[in-house]
């Protein structure tokens, strides 16, 4: 990601949070390894869960498996910025905390922001940490999710000469055969552009849709991106193909692909890395039910 692209990402998030366009500025004095503090280590490598042709940087044993989430060294610890912007909104129906490229923004009622004073960022980006500062009004929590971005079109795909569709109906056929949690998350993204890849190994007449990726324009600059693959066809390159074609289409449309992935979903984060996404931030939000 170059500085201009990062500025665009900052601008999009500032507008989404209701802040002035220049609000997201990197904090000074952060360690050089700030980004990996909430991201995956630079040399992380999965043994399974990615297309067979995925070749990230070496460094971990070939049998590395993040069996219970992310490796300890990739969890939020020290290194998240203490520098933050506060936006008081006493009518807010949720509290939002976003860390992006060296700067943090906390949005919510004044009493919540007061309780958050002095609470480290690496605590606020956890569900328990945010719940503690929200207090008894706490409601449903969304996140934490890692925010990752793709800088340019790429030509690497997992399946050569794939049979494709841009129909939402075919994407729905994929969603109907994926685990419920995956399908719900993909539908929640409300993508408007889809790329579906078929398995036509039995012939085009018997081809079946096995992977779909889509995106929707967000804040005029970014493309919120999702990708799903039916379980029986994972690790065979179909997911990488649909995601690559969808992100290339978004970039060709003048958008920067944005991937929101649960912080503890090591497989999805490593898949994002295999596509070339760079993790730049983390976001979490907690609903505030109406009093009474």
Report the CATH number at residue 257.
Answer: 3.40.630.30
| Residue that finishes a domain, picked among 101, 121, 148 | 148
Are 108 and 169 members of one domain? no
3-class state of residue 70 by DSSP:
coil
Residue 46 lies in a domain: no
The pLDDT score that the predictor gives to residue 24 is 74
Closest Cα partner for 150 from 248, 285, 49? Answer: 248
Are 85 and 204 members of one domain? no
Are 135 and 82 members of one domain? yes
Are 141 and 108 members of one domain? yes
Give, as one character, the DSSP assignment of residue 207.
-
pLDDT: is 286 or 73 the higher one? Answer: 286
Closest Cα partner for 174 from 214, 133, 135, 119? Answer: 214
3-class state of residue 2 by DSSP:
coil
Q: Which residue has the tokens 């328990």?
A: 128
Residue 253 lies in a domain: yes
Mean pLDDT confidence for 215-243 = 96
pLDDT band for 81, please (50, 70, 90 cuts): low
- For residue 146, how many other CB atoms are within 10 A of its CB? 27
Residue 23 lies in a domain: yes
Number of domain units in the chain: 2
Closest Cα partner for 112 from 84, 131, 140? Answer: 131
Which alpha helices (DSSP H) does the chain contain, by range? 3-16, 110-116, 121-124, 127-134, 168-175, 180-188, 238-252, 266-275
For 9-51, the DSSP string reads HHHHHHHHTT--TT---PPTT--TTTGGGTS--TT---SSSS-
Residue 203 lies in a domain: yes
Tokens describing residue 111: 């009493």
The pLDDT score that the predictor gives to residue 33 is 39
Are 200 and 167 members of one domain? yes
Residue 214 lies in a domain: yes
Residue 120 lies in a domain: yes
pLDDT band for 131, please (50, 70, 90 cuts): very high
Give, as one character, the DSSP assignment of residue 78.
B
- Please work out, in degrees rounded to the nearest 5, the angle formed at the alpha carbon of residue 268 by the alpha carbons of 265 and 273: 120
* Total-model pTM: 0.81
Residue 21 lies in a domain: yes
Are 113 and 224 members of one domain? no
Closest Cα partner for 86 from 128, 30, 133? Answer: 133
Mean pLDDT confidence for 55-74 = 35
Q: How far is Cα 258 from Cα 261, in angstroms, rounded to an integer?
A: 10
pLDDT band for 75, please (50, 70, 90 cuts): very low
Share above pLDDT 70 across residues of the chain, in percent, rounded to a whole number:
79
Are 256 and 185 members of one domain? yes
Are 96 and 178 members of one domain? no
The pLDDT score that the predictor gives to residue 84 is 85
Share above pLDDT 90 across residues of the chain, in percent, rounded to a whole number:
68
Are 31 and 143 members of one domain? yes
CA atoms within 13 A on the CB side of 200: 13
Domain membership of residue 174 as a residue range = 163-276
pLDDT surpassing 90 at residue 210 = yes
Are 109 and 81 members of one domain? yes
Residue 110 lies in a domain: yes
Are 262 and 218 members of one domain? yes
pLDDT surpassing 60 at residue 108 = yes
Are 172 and 226 members of one domain? yes
The pLDDT score that the predictor gives to residue 240 is 96
């Amino acid at each position: 990601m170059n500085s201009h692209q990062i500025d665009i990402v900052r601008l999009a998030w500032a507008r989404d949070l209701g802040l002035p366009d220049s609000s997201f500025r990197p904090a000074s004095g952060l360690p050089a390894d700030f980004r990996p503090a909430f991201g995956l280590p630079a040399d992380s490598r999965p043994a399974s869960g990615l297309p067979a042709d995925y070749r990230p940087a070496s460094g971990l044993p070939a049998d590395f498996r993040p069996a219970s989430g992310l490796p300890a060294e990739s969890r939020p610890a020290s290194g998240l910025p203490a520098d933050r912007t506060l936006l008081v909104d006493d009518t807010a129906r949720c509290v939002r905390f976003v860390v992006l490229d060296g700067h943090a923004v906390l949005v919510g009622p004044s009493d919540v922001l007061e309780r958050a004073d002095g609470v480290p960022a690496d605590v606020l980006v956890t569900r328990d940490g945010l719940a503690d500062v929200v207090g008894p009004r706490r409601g449903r929590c969304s996140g934490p999710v890692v925010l990752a971005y793709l800088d340019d079109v790429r030509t690497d795909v997992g399946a050569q000469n794939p049979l494709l569709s841009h129909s939402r109906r075919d994407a729905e056929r994929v969603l109907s055969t994926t685990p419920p949690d995956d399908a719900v998350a993909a539908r929640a993204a409300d993508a408007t552009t889809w790329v579906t890849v078929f398995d036509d190994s039995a012939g085009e007449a018997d081809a079946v849709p096995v992977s779909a990726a889509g995106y929707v324009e967000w804040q005029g600059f970014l493309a919120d991106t999702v990708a799903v693959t039916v379980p029986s066809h994972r690790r065979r390159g179909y997911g990488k193909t649909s995601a690559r074609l969808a992100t290339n289409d978004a970039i060709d449309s003048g958008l920067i692909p944005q991937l929101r992935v649960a912080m503890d979903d090591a497989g999805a984060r490593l898949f994002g890395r295999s596509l070339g996404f760079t993790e730049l931030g983390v976001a979490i939000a907690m609903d505030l039910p109406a009093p009474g």
